Chains A and B, each alone.
Chain A
Amino acid sequence: MKQKPVAFSALMTIVVLGAGLFFGSPFVALLHSFVGADGFSALLNRQVLLVVVTSLVSALMATGLAAVVGIALGYHFTYRKKTGGRWLKTFFSLPLVLPPSAAGYMLLLAFGRYGLIGAPLYQAFSLQIMFTTTALVLAQFFVITPLMMQAASSAFQQIPESLVKASHSLGADEYTTFVKVLLPLSRPVLVAGVITAFARAIGEFGATMMVAGRLKTIPIMIYVKAMGGDAGVADGLSLLLVLLSFLVLFLVNFLGEKRR
């Protein structure tokens, strides 16, 4: 009987060590390759720096847009949901589970030069969306908005209903209640949502790839360079994304602990 806890403990140790080995090995390999291929020097290249700037700008713009729209959707589905709200919320959440390449393809169909919206835009204003920075922003926005919506929904749902009712009974209208009560109380969750959405946007590959044309973001550049055998740039950019992801997770966890 007493052997069971020992066996269980041993099994747990093996699983944890195995998992550590499996998940740790790519990071160790990356570091090893980065040092060997002098990834740092490879990063200090004008073309690479341009890619980093493009990625940052598009991700920031997509995140800003997604924050506004995601919070609005989260608010709508928490406080103003009417008949069919569940269907609509599922619809807006679809990009979360959709393969990114399919999302990118659908965006092409909608906003491409011959697309449903893209064609009239091109005919009326000679406006081309695809294969521009706008397309990168749209692709990332499409993918990250549901994340932001879910963060906002969960933030609003955590606020006791009586606070909203109290605000209304004290004479505050919907807008005042939103600005003075809901936003301040949900700020930590919303900030965590924004950070996560930004990390997802800067790492977005599939959808962005479909609409980027000749433009490159960090993930696209990693793919291109890795396939082309240029390990230095691939290593440097990968490590940059690893560090950024680590920072994001750390911040989100920090905000979560602060909230508790």
Chain B
Amino acid sequence: MTLLLEDVSLQIDRNPILEQISFRLPIGQVLVVLGNSGAGKSKLLEVIAGLLRNQSGRIIFGGRDLGTLSPQERKIGFVFQDYALFPHMTAEENILFGLQSRQAPSREQTKWLKAVTAELKIDHLLGRFPAELSGGQQQRVALARCMVLRPEVLLLDEPLSALDAASRERLALLMKKIQKKYRVTMLYVTHDHNEARFMGDQVLVVDRGRAVQMGSPEEIFSRPISRFVAHFTATRNILPGRIRERCGVGQALVEVVGVQLMSTSFPVQGDEVWVCIRPEHFSFVEASSAVSLQISDKISDEMSAENLISGYRISQIIPQSGVTVLVELMRRRERLMVFASNRRVEEWGLLVGLEVSLSVAGSHVHCLSRQPRDIYCRPQ
């Protein structure tokens, strides 16, 4: 049982909005659709919901072709970015709107209203109008309005974008819990990569109406398929490099930022590459062990072979949310961005101007071909 999209294309006023979007999502999983503003993420949800008609391609859920069904017949819930609560109705009237439109018996209405509002902890808000609710409360009401209809697919269009950090965390946890409990297939649109990592079983990256990469969050974030995906998933170190040697044991020696690093993720052809290293994959190394890397010793090592980079000075320490800082390192005109915990910064006395050494595992040195390719993903 899957949600399958095959070559779904959409044009509005002759402008291509979605181009041959294809993917396959097992039922009960969460697919996070990640992309820039205007990439077509919301329109993709509207097409799946039947609110917009795709000009070509098929949408199949559990073997049923949804293309022939109206939005009312699709059993798809949609939580809009602005929540789209009806301002002239109370929270209760909003939640019951769908059931009443479908002429559900009043007993069933009461049963589902009670169950879902208790679950979402909004049973005390039922008599209030949307204008009297906070953003987080409105979001819960919008979610309840969908969940009482027991949808097979739940579409969420940037549901947390208008909330403060604390509410975002609470609601993200709540949505994850609801999704697991009801085993609803979920498509979750966001441009926030942290949300994508937390919410998604699968992540689909969309760029200018095209699906450029789909995979597990780990795969998307560690092995981006293109420079765009790498940049968009906050791989802050995307450096020009050159493959010096393919070692034949799933390892290659790549020259980047004046040093040679071992990589276990590299293109089969082409030596000119972009070397992508995520800031959280670096570790600071004590000065005493900061010696030049002897590549010959490492060639036969396993995947976790550590690379050592020396001679960088800290140029900036940028506080991040929570317990981490982003450390900017410079060596001549080359720059590296590295995450470190506040504790590590204190323990090691990391200060601006200090020379440091770093290590990074070969499996975290991801090389991308610099040859531009027309990439878009197809269902497996």
- Is chain B found bound to chain A in the same assembly? yes
Q: Which positions in A face B, CB cutoff 8 Å?
A: 160, 162-163, 165-173, 176, 180-181, 184-185
Q: Which positions in B face A, CB cutoff 8 Å?
A: 46, 49, 51, 71-72, 76-78, 80-82, 84-88, 97-98, 101-102, 145-146, 149
11 A-B pairs (CB sep. < 8 Å): A162-B84, A163-B84, A165-B51, A166-B84, A168-B71, A169-B76, A169-B78, A170-B146, A171-B149, A180-B101, A185-B88
Tell me which residues across on chain A come within 8 A of B81, comparing CB atoms. Answer: 162
**Separation in Å of the A195 CB from the closest CB of chain B?**
21
B72 touches A168 (CB 8 A): yes
Bound state CA distance, A172 and B99, in angstroms?
9
B97 touches A162 (CB 8 A): no
Tell me which residues across on chain A come within 8 A of B78, comparing CB atoms. Answer: 165-166, 169
Bound state CA distance, A165 and B146, in angstroms?
13
**Which residue of A165, A172, A180, A184 is within 8 Å of B80 (Cβ)?**
A165
What are the 8 A-B residue pairs with the smallest beta carbon separation, nearest first? A170-B98, A166-B84, A162-B84, A172-B101, A169-B78, A171-B101, A162-B80, A171-B102
A166 touches B80 (CB 8 A): yes
**Separation in Å of the B11 CB from the closest CB of chain A?**
15
* Seed contacts A160-B84, A168-B51; 20 additional CB < 8 Å A-B pairs: A162-B82, A162-B84, A163-B84, A165-B78, A166-B84, A167-B86, A167-B97, A168-B71, A169-B71, A169-B76, A169-B77, A170-B97, A170-B98, A170-B101, A170-B146, A171-B71, A171-B149, A176-B101, A185-B86, A185-B88
Q: Given A171-B101, A185-B87, A165–B46 Cβ distance below 8 Å? A: yes
**Separation in Å of the A86 CB from the closest CB of chain B?**
13
**Separation in Å of the B25 CB from the closest CB of chain A?**
19
Bound state CA distance, A110 and B256, in angstroms?
84
Nearest neighbor of B95 in chain A, beta-carbon distance: A170
A171 touches B72 (CB 8 A): yes
A169 touches B49 (CB 8 A): yes
Tell me which residues across on chain A come within 8 A of B149, comparing CB atoms. Answer: 170-171
Tell me which residues across on chain B come within 8 A of A181, comparing CB atoms. Answer: 86
Bound state CA distance, A165 and B76, in angstroms?
12
Tell me which residues across on chain A come within 8 A of B77, comparing CB atoms. Answer: 169
B82 touches A160 (CB 8 A): yes
**Which residue of A172, A173, A184, A185 is within 8 Å of B97 (Cβ)?**
A172
**Separation in Å of the B83 CB from the closest CB of chain A?**
8
Tell me which residues across on chain A come within 8 A of B84, comparing CB atoms. Answer: 160, 162-163, 165-166
Nearest neighbor of A169 in chain B, beta-carbon distance: B78
Nearest neighbor of A166 in chain B, beta-carbon distance: B84
Tell me which residues across on chain B come within 8 A of A184, comparing CB atoms. Answer: 88
A172 touches B86 (CB 8 A): no
Bound state CA distance, A176 and B84, in angstroms?
16
Bound state CA distance, A163 and B149, in angstroms?
17
Q: Which has the most chain A C-beta neighbours within 10 Å: B76, B87, B145?
A: B87
Bound state CA distance, A165 and B155, in angstroms?
13
Q: Which has the most chain B C-beta neighbours within 10 Å: A169, A171, A180, A181?
A: A169
Tell me which residues across on chain B come within 8 A of A185, comparing CB atoms. Answer: 86-88
Bound state CA distance, A171 and B74, in angstroms?
9
Bound state CA distance, A78 and B272, in angstroms?
54
Tell me which residues across on chain B come within 8 A of A176, comparing CB atoms. Answer: 101
Bound state CA distance, A14 and B7, in angstroms?
69
**Separation in Å of the B142 CB from the closest CB of chain A?**
8
Nearest neighbor of B87 in chain A, beta-carbon distance: A185
Tell me which residues across on chain A come within 8 A of B101, comparing CB atoms. Answer: 167, 170-173, 176, 180
Bound state CA distance, A170 and B95, in angstroms?
10
Tell me which residues across on chain B come within 8 A of A166, comparing CB atoms. Answer: 78, 80, 84-86
Bound state CA distance, A65 and B149, in angstroms?
39
Bound state CA distance, A181 and B84, in angstroms?
11
**Separation in Å of the B177 CB from the closest CB of chain A?**
23
Tell me which residues across on chain A come within 8 A of B71, comparing CB atoms. Answer: 168-169, 171
**Separation in Å of the B71 CB from the closest CB of chain A?**
5
Nearest neighbor of A170 in chain B, beta-carbon distance: B98
**Separation in Å of the A168 CB from the closest CB of chain B?**
5
A163 touches B86 (CB 8 A): yes
Tell me which residues across on chain B come within 8 A of A168, comparing CB atoms. Answer: 51, 71-72
Bound state CA distance, A135 and B88, in angstroms?
40
A173 touches B72 (CB 8 A): yes
Bound state CA distance, A180 and B49, in angstroms?
21
Q: Which has the most chain B C-beta neighbours within 10 Å: A160, A162, A181?
A: A162
Tell me which residues across on chain B come within 8 A of A162, comparing CB atoms. Answer: 80-82, 84
Nearest neighbor of A184 in chain B, beta-carbon distance: B88
Bound state CA distance, A226 and B276, in angstroms?
89
Bound state CA distance, A160 and B80, in angstroms?
11
